[in-house]
A and B are shown apart, each in its own frame.
Chain A
C-alpha cells in the first residue's frame, strides 16, 4: 500500500502541480473578466462544452500519438511529419463537427433559455471560432507533450494526460474571451 502511494506521489507530483498552476491561471482569467461574463451568461454557458471538447480531443491525440511512437508507425519528430499532420487534421475535422453541433443545437437553446435572442448569430460565430482556436492550440500542445514524453521516457497516462486536460481548459477559456473581445463583448 505504502509503495503504491509513494509511486503515485513520485510520478504525479510534478504534472499535477503544473496542472494545478494552469487551473489556477484559468480561474484567474475568468475572474478577471467576471463582470463581463455575468452580464453575458451565454458565454459562461458555452465554456463547459468547449472545455470538455478541447480536453477530450487533447487526450485522444496524446493517447494515439504515444501509442504510434511506441509502435513506430509515426516518427517522434515535430517537423515534416506526415503522421502528425494526418492526426492533427483528422481531429480538427472531428472538432469542427462537434463545434457545429454545439453551435447549431445548443446556442439557440441557450439563447432562448437565457433570453438573448438578439445575439444568436454572434454567439454562433463565437462558439465556432473559439472552439476551433481552443482545440487547435490544445492539439498542438498535445503533439508537443507526446513527443517530449516519448523522448524523455515519461508515462503518458500519469504525466501527459492530466496536463493536457488542464491545458485544454485554459486554452478554451482564453479562446472564448479572446474571440468575445474581438466582438467587443468583454
Chain B
C-alpha cells in the first residue's frame, strides 16, 4: 500500500461531521481570504492554503463514506445530491485560495480599495485591545454575545489563533479580527475601544475617479458572492425552488458585473503604470464570480428536483453559522418595526440575508435599515445557533431585542 493510500485509509468518520466541517472550513477560508486582502497578513493566506488541503481530504472522505452508506436507488440519489453540494463548497474554498494568493504572491490590490472594504454587508474588522479597555479580563464569548460580532482570529504574543476558544480571556494588546453585520460594527468598536472608530471616507482616500468605479463594482460583487452562498445554502436547507431561482439571478448579475469590471480594469490600464495591481483586481473579480458559480451548483440540486438526504439539514443545524427562516406573524413584536428598530443585526448579530415581502412577493437582499418588517414577511436569517434560538423564542415574546434591553 502506498503512503498516500495509507494516509487516506478511512478512519471511522460520518457524513454529517464531514458536511459540518466542510461548511465551517469553507466559510472560515473565505473570512481568512478577505482578511488577507484587508490586513495584508501573509499568515492568513498560508492558513487558507493549509485549510484547502483539509477541504480536499474531507471531499475525498465524503465520497468514500457515501459509497459505504448508499443502499437503494433513492438513497443513492439523495446522497449524490449531497456530494454535489460538497463539491460546490470545495469550489468556494478554491476561490478563497485564489483570493489569498493575491497577497501571498505579492500581486496586491490598490490601497484605497481595501481601506473601503468595511462597506461590505458582512463586514470584517481588526482592533487591538487598549490598556484601559473595559473588556480586559472578559471572555471572548462575552464579547461575541454583547456585540453580535464573531471573532474569527486573535493574535497574542505574536501568535495567531484561528477560531479562538470562547473561554479565552482578553488581555491588553490582543489583536482581534471579527466579522458580523455592518450594523453590529459600532457596538463592537465601542465595547473594545470605548469609542466608534471613524473609517476613512471615500473622499479622504484621494481615490482616482477611474479607480472608484472598479472599487464600487468589486464591493458589490463581494456582497453578491456572499449573498449567493447564503441563498444557495438556504435553498437547499428549506428545499425552496423560489430561493434557488434567486441564486441563478444573482449569478447572472455577477456574470455581467465581472464583464463590466474587466472592462473598467482594462480602461484603467491605460492610465496606470502599476499593472501588477490590475492583476490583483482581475483575480479578485474572477474568484468572486467563481463563488457565485459554486452557489448555482448547490441551488441546481433543488432546481433539478432531486431529493436531498435529511442528514444534510441535520448537519446544517449543527454548523457554526446557522441559517434559518422565520415568518413574521401578525401578533409578533417584529411586525411593524424597521430592520434597524428590531435590533436583530445590531444587538443580536443576526444577519438578515433576505426578506420576502408579503405584499409584493419579491425578495429583498440585505435589506436596508429603514426597511419595514410586516406580518406575512419571510426572513432568511444567519447567525450563531444561540442567537437564532433566542430570536425564535423572541417571536413569541412581547418585545423586540432592543426593547428588552
Contact = CB atoms under 8 A, between A and B. Distances in A.
Interface of A: 63, 66-67, 69-73, 76, 150-151, 153
Nearest to B66: A70
A70 B65 contact: yes
Contact of B11 (A66, A72, A73, A153): A153
Contact of B16 (A67, A71, A76, A151): A71
Interface stretch (B38-46, B309-317, B369-377): B309-317
B17 interface: yes
A72 B71 contact: no
A73 B71 contact: no
Contacts of B314: 72-73
9 contacts: A69-B12, A71-B14, A71-B69, A71-B309, A71-B311, A72-B14, A72-B16, A73-B314, A150-B12
B10 interface: yes
A151 B11 CA distance: 8
7 residue pairs, one from A and one from B, having the closest CB atoms:
A72-B16, A72-B14, A70-B69, A71-B311, A67-B69, A70-B68, A71-B15
Contacts of A69: 12, 14
Contacts of A153: 9-12
A150 B315 CA distance: 20
B11 to A, nearest CB: 7
Nearest to B11: A153
Chain B, interface SS category: helix
Nearest to B69: A70
Nearest to B19: A72
Interface residues of B, number: 19
A56 to B, nearest CB: 16
Contacts of B15: 70-72
Nearest to B70: A67
A96 B240 CA distance: 41
A74 to B, nearest CB: 9
Contacts of B65: 70-71
Contacts of B16: 71-73
A153 B61 CA distance: 13
Given A73-B16, A76-B12, A153-B10, 20 more contacts: A63-B71, A67-B75, A70-B14, A70-B15, A70-B65, A70-B68, A70-B69, A71-B14, A71-B15, A71-B16, A71-B65, A71-B69, A72-B14, A72-B16, A72-B17, A72-B314, A73-B310, A73-B311, A153-B9, A153-B12
Contacts of B12: 69, 76, 150-151, 153
Q: Which of B17, B68, B309 has the most CB of A within 10 A?
A: B68
Contacts of A76: 12
B81 to A, nearest CB: 13
A63 B69 CA distance: 9
B308 to A, nearest CB: 13
A144 to B, nearest CB: 15
B3 to A, nearest CB: 18
A67 B71 contact: yes
Nearest to B311: A71
Contacts of A63: 71
Q: Which of A72, A73, A151, A153 has the most CB of B within 10 A?
A: A72
A151 B10 CA distance: 10
A69 B149 CA distance: 35
Given A67-B69, A67-B71, A72 B10 contact: no
Interface string B1-26: 00000000111101111000000000
A167 B72 CA distance: 26
Nearest to A150: B12
Contacts of B71: 63, 67
B76 to A, nearest CB: 12
B384 to A, nearest CB: 22
B60 to A, nearest CB: 15
Nearest to A69: B14
Interface string B303-325: 00000011100110000000000
A66 B67 CA distance: 12
Contacts of B9: 153
B169 to A, nearest CB: 33
Contacts of A73: 16, 310-311, 314
B68 A72 contact: no
Contacts of A72: 14-17, 311, 314-315
A81 to B, nearest CB: 14
A147 to B, nearest CB: 10
Nearest to B16: A72
A70 B19 CA distance: 12
A73 B10 CA distance: 18
A67 B14 CA distance: 10
A71 B15 CA distance: 5
Q: Which of B14, B309, B311 has the most CB of A within 10 A?
A: B14
A150 B14 CA distance: 10
A19 B310 CA distance: 36
Contacts of B70: 67
A76 B69 CA distance: 14
Nearest to A68: B69
Nearest to A152: B12
Nearest to B312: A71
A62 B187 CA distance: 54
Nearest to B82: A71
